[in-house]
Structures are given as C-alpha cells and as structure tokens.
C-alpha cells in the first residue's frame, strides 16, 4: 500500500479527477495549498507596491492505493496534470503503515479497496 501525493495546478484538478475516474481509482482527498517549486515568480503591483508572488496556488491530491494501483494512479495524475510548462507539479509516493476504514473497522487492503454501501 502506498500513499500517492500529487501536487497539481488548480486549473488541471478537474482533468486529474477525470483521469483517476477512468483509471478506476475511486478514493481520494484534495486540498488547496500554496507552494513553490522553482517556477518563475509572478509580479503584481498594487498602487506603489510591487511584489513578487513566491507562492503559487496548487491542489494536493492524497490517494491511498494498493500496490497494483500505484502505477495507474501515477499515470492518471501525469496525464491529467501535465501542460509541459514549469509548474505542473510533483508526485510523491510514500509507504503506508496502516489504513483503517472508520465505519467498518476494515484494515489495510480491505480499507483502501472501495466497497459498496
């Protein structure tokens, strides 16, 4: 089991969701974050104040998957989020110690696999 963390452009979040759906990945959380990953700073001016905006808006996907789903999830994130410009984001894959589904008490593989209601 892995936790796949994908950091993507906000405007590509819908494309990622669509790609994940096509890859049969059904469980994920997303959050709006700000970050900096080496892209060029934007310059903004408010009256006499000029600032470089060092942080860009991003969306973070957190997706816990069983091992066979790791690569399809990564592929879906890449397919949905890539524009080819600097700032497309990153994917981190980290090992998962335990997963528990709160409602049923299912653990690990049982918990990352979607179940009917």
Q: Is 9 in the site for other proteins (CB under 8 A)?
A: yes
CB 31 within 8 A of CB 41: no
Q: Which is nearer to other proteins, 53 or 109 (CB)?
A: 53
**Rounded-to-integer distance, Cα 39 and Cα 5, Å:** 20
Q: How far is the CB of 17 from other proteins (least distance, A)?
A: 10
The binding track of 65-84 with respect to other proteins, each residue x by CB under 8 A or -, is ------------------x-
- 37 counts as binding other proteins under rule CB under 8 A: no
The H or E element that residue 97 is part of is none
Which region, judged by CB under 8 A, interacts with other proteins, from 21-29, 43-51, 98-106, 108-116?
A: 43-51
Beta bridge partners of 6: 61, 91
Query: E strands along the chain, which residues?
Result: 2-8, 29-35, 42-46, 49-53, 56-65, 89-95
- Binding residues for other proteins (CB under 8 A): 9, 11-12, 14, 34, 36, 40-46, 49-55, 83, 85
């Amino acid at each position: 089991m892995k936790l796949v963390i994908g950091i993507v452009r906000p405007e590509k979040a819908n494309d990622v969701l669509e790609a994940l759906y096509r890859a049969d990945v059904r469980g994920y959380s997303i959050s709006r974050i700000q970050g900096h990953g080496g892209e060029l700073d934007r310059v903004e001016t408010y009256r006499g104040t000029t600032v470089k905006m060092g942080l860009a808006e991003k969306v973070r996907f957190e997706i816990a998957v069983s091992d066979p789903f790791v690569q399809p999830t990564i592929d879906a994130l890449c397919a949905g989020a890539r524009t080819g410009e600097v700032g497309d984001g990153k994917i981190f894959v980290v090992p998962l110690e335990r997963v528990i589904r709160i409602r049923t008490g299912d653990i690990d593989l049982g918990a990352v696999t979607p179940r009917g209601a």
